[in-house]
Structure 1
């Protein structure tokens, strides 16, 4: 991928995990005002999202290995939405699972952010990490996923102070969201799936919009959004 053309007049946003679920909703929301780099692993799925947006291009990458595509000279928004959920009790979870979940949910976020910081600083931009309610509290059987999200929260807290006055950093913590990941999780829990206990990806995207559009003199440091009803 080549960096966006200098002719692109819109601010530029890179959204990872943008081919489906929350990431796609964020790409569509920001696509109303931004030129979107649509991040994802599946080139065909990414191309479908690109085609649906007014100003966009693909950012096809395997975030956990290999060389990443070139980043633009200026990047106004970086949204980390790619993530995985896995793990069981501590007793039943292998080291391989721990490593894989942390590789995607923490290490890839840190590395892409590191590479993007020069472009974000030039734009006085913003990093938004889609975390989780599991990044605020943990429970039995959730040590792996919650652990990775707690680590992601520590990353954003540190980055916010390191970049204060140069790059804003927001951590968004959704509760249960109506996505494929959520359906798989509910099935693993042995419960019937019911959207009455979820929020939509578009609701999460709306919270991202709030963080992005806040005047530069303020910042949404952390925002939790979750369903009114719960089991």
Structure 2
């Protein structure tokens, strides 16, 4: 009697596939793959900060800040437009504040609920040169927030064809206040490792004055009055000051 070898091989393969050992291996491997997929998803950074409506964001910025009163929305140097501007600047407020006893202050703040390494709030050292200004080296400074604390900030002077502005600004990314692009990117990475896509804000105040020494007392006073005047949500959003402050 002749036995077909191919039939025996098929029967043996079918027997192996149907064996309890192979089925257990399939279950173990499948479970491992599912676990790995679940861990990968759990480690994927998630957006945790909600989008803020434009009107709601604008209401967080007071119309009166100390002795300064909102005068106009024009005359402020803006970030350069690019393909991401619509998402970068969903929340953008530009204002000029005037006062009888203090020089006019040009104010800008931009907020984004996602800082994912691609979408990041522009720093002023980009937008001023794009407008034809020459900049002095940026130097760090700690400014009083008006509520007993301080904020790490930067100062530089921008000289254009028709005016010279002295600029004070800070950026908040999540819980960090980065002073450079490198620190800003690192703040995003650190938040991502915790499973979070951080939010980010730029706060900028500038004025025209003969020297930076003439401008700084007014700019730091404006920053302190801004934090004193804003409500708790505004202080937390722009300056990272906790809600109980």
Q: What is the TM-score with the length of structure 2 in the denominator?
A: 0.31
**Bigger Cα Rg:** 2
Give the structure with the larger strand fraction.
2
Q: Greater share of helix residues, 1 or 2?
A: 1
Q: TM-score if structure 1 supplies the norm length? A: 0.32
